[in-house]
Structure 1
């Protein structure tokens, strides 16, 4: 199986940097689904704050988009035991469980570790799925597709990014069944585009436990949302017109607190990547370039092209490594290594 790799340190290739070895696809190591995979989310690994018998340890969550003949589905697969890619591959796939299916399109999903549930973004609104019982409940109904989501406030609030450019905050503490009625809201906004002096008043209707004052409007469809873990009052939002901005949920009416210039996008759903220390934000662009900005200052730190197709997905290393030199003595080893995916292949980048 062909693979693509690049090691980059401060914008310069380093032939001595180690990158993960060749990628292989074993015979039988793939499973044909009813429609394409729309989202994959890994559950937490075994950690001191997670009980060893917790149902979330070692689980992965993924969703299918849906097709013309059927809606999307929500699945989990247990990864507690090592994956057998040999003769035991059928035992591996036997761990796959379809939790529930919808009669609509599933665009995105988030894994709520605290409550063992999936938060789903669809073309009909936002829904929650209990991953143990399969019980579904809607928390947002709207006519604009939910393309991006983030769970904040320890699961009490869900940020939803919509096709129409809105980002709405939904209070998740009030549960409602699928058949229940929601409080209806008409969200008014003043949308301004990049043309000087151009603004339009508008609004749209939605139903759910919405904070109307905690709503923002970006110039185009929301591409990605990324909350900062150290302080989830802050979140990054990007839209398909090339805008990337940082917001403070306590001061949304004042607009963005930081902007990141130079991103190139006109219609593509492109992920944002935030490093574990939350100093940098990374994104690919439609010009096939990778860019890295300082989250705090907004300065463009790196602009590099090493792919001939758009880098639409990015995943930083999600943990910090500690290396034992002597007994009870550890040194901190941190890296900005990240995986990036495009139509062309999979890339690894190391920027230290």
Structure 2
């Protein structure tokens, strides 16, 4: 993001992390506080490849990460999902006028249900040591009388979907109004809006995957509900076991738009090149690729080697959609080819389970790829010119 510093706008990479205590942490990556005078440096370790004495001369020293000193907002309960989106400024159509926001969902606790919050990220990253986080830049959209396990939103931030212990709901982020997409006795643990915006994938605790058409009329319910005493469903080892909990099919969905995996759904990822395709993983270690047009025939591709029994681990798909990766309960990181199903990489570099993984975003990947191509072309031209001069 471009952030305002004492030296002006600075193009900077950040990592946002949500804590089990409701805290939000912000880490700058790479430039290590360049132009940002107040904060704390943290050492980042390169975890792969493992270096030995023969490789030391060709290795790079890993960079640092930097944490701003300013206070960050704290949510009322565990953060269950963070999703970035661009929100168009009023009266503008230029892509450069888009401002960054983040959607935060909270799980809920005994004192209150889960909630949806939108935070103005540009204002949050206005690094001024004397400036507190302004509450006017944090908008609580709605509070619900249920547990919110996951959430997703459209790129323009107009609507969001939430997965709860009562089913799936569609939420208008401007008005806070919500409507049920799916009523279910089985928790919706994974969710993904397909890129067309016309449908949402819902992955349930009982192993069902249901595609819901969001264009159909839904059952409405109050957007802001009275806070109450409730106990969210515990996320423990029982999640990996398939249950016989029932599913209520409404008129905007039917059995031809659903399938079943052996265990609770851990992750769903819709592919951009054709949003009829999606990757799904369940908590018994099964990972499959589905085509919604022929979903009743089963998966079109299966992937072997994933290790899971009860953990909600997220799949990460690279911007070119050639590969995906995931952590495992054996603490290994694995990368597969989406097309062939081949396991391409497997290595252990952590003592804990890497439950969330991601690739560098598409814009930066393209930028660095173009930069690398230009460097190669320049090197070739320089070499060619040197050879010509040498011959002369």
TM-score by length of 2: 0.71
Structure 1 segment 222-241 matched on structure 2, within 5 A: 222-241=265-284
Instruction: Specify whether residues 325 and 254 from structure 1 end up closer, same or farther in structure 2 by C-alpha distance, changes over 3 A only.
Output: closer
Task: Measure how far apart 1:82 and its partner are.
Answer: 6.8
Please state if 1:44 is matched with 2:86. yes
Task: Measure how far apart 1:102 and its partner are.
Answer: 0.4
Structure 1 segment 180-329 matched on structure 2, within 5 A: 204-208=246-250, 209-319=252-362, 320-322=365-367
Rounded to whole Å, the distance in 1 between the matches of 2:289 and 2:208 is: 15
Aligned partners of 2:335 and 2:345 also within 8 Å: yes
Which residue among 156, 170, 185 is the counterpart of 1:143?
185
Task: Measure how far apart 1:132 and its partner are.
Answer: 1.1
| Structure with greater contact order relative to length (CA < 8 Å, sep ≥ 6) | 1
Aligned partners of 2:85 and 2:157 also within 8 Å: no
Aligned partners of 1:57 and 1:80 also within 8 Å: yes
Aligned partners of 2:191 and 2:268 also within 8 Å: yes
* Cα offsets for 1:279-318 (capped at 9, x unmatched): 1110000000000011111111111011000000011112
Q: Which has the higher strand share?
A: 1
Please state if 1:167 is matched with 2:209. yes
Instruction: Specify whether residues 61 and 54 from structure 1 end up closer, same or farther in structure 2 by C-alpha distance, changes over 3 A only.
Output: farther
Task: Measure how far apart 1:79 and its partner are.
Answer: 2.3
Paired position in structure 2 for 1:100? 142
Please state if 1:5 is matched with 2:50. no
Which residue among 103, 117, 120 is the counterpart of 1:61?
103
Task: Measure how far apart 1:137 and its partner are.
Answer: 1.3
Q: Which has the higher helix share?
A: 2
Which stretch of structure 1 is more off in the superposition, 55-64 or 162-171?
A: 55-64
Instruction: Specify whether residues 266 and 94 from structure 1 end up closer, same or farther in structure 2 by C-alpha distance, changes over 3 A only.
Output: same
Q: Which has the larger radius of gyration?
A: 2
Structure 1 segment 111-126 matched on structure 2, within 5 A: 111-114=153-156, 116-126=158-168
* Cα offsets for 1:91-146 (capped at 9, x unmatched): 45541111111011011011112561111111111111111111111111111111
CA RMSD of aligned residues (A): 3.3
Task: Measure how far apart 1:68 and its partner are.
Answer: 1.3
Task: Measure how far apart 1:59 and its partner are.
Answer: 1.3
SS of 1:59's partner is: strand
Which residue among 93, 110, 120 is the counterpart of 1:78?
120
Aligned partners of 2:196 and 2:275 also within 8 Å: no
Aligned partners of 1:276 and 1:316 also within 8 Å: yes
Rounded to whole Å, the distance in 1 between the matches of 2:279 and 2:256 is: 18
Paired position in structure 1 for 2:74? 32
Instruction: Specify whether residues 88 and 135 from structure 1 end up closer, same or farther in structure 2 by C-alpha distance, changes over 3 A only.
Output: farther
Aligned partners of 1:71 and 1:103 also within 8 Å: yes
Which stretch of structure 1 is more off in the superposition, 36-45 or 99-108?
A: 36-45
Aligned partners of 1:149 and 1:161 also within 8 Å: yes
TM-score by length of 1: 0.78
Which stretch of structure 1 is more off in the superposition, 222-231 or 129-138?
A: 129-138
Rounded to whole Å, the distance in 1 between the matches of 2:340 and 2:322 is: 10
Instruction: Specify whether residues 68 and 81 from structure 1 end up closer, same or farther in structure 2 by C-alpha distance, changes over 3 A only.
Output: closer
Rounded to whole Å, the distance in 2 between the matches of 1:90 and 1:175 is: 43
Rounded to whole Å, the distance in 1 between the matches of 2:245 and 2:309 is: 23
The answer for unaligned runs of 5 or more in structure 1 is 181-199, 334-352
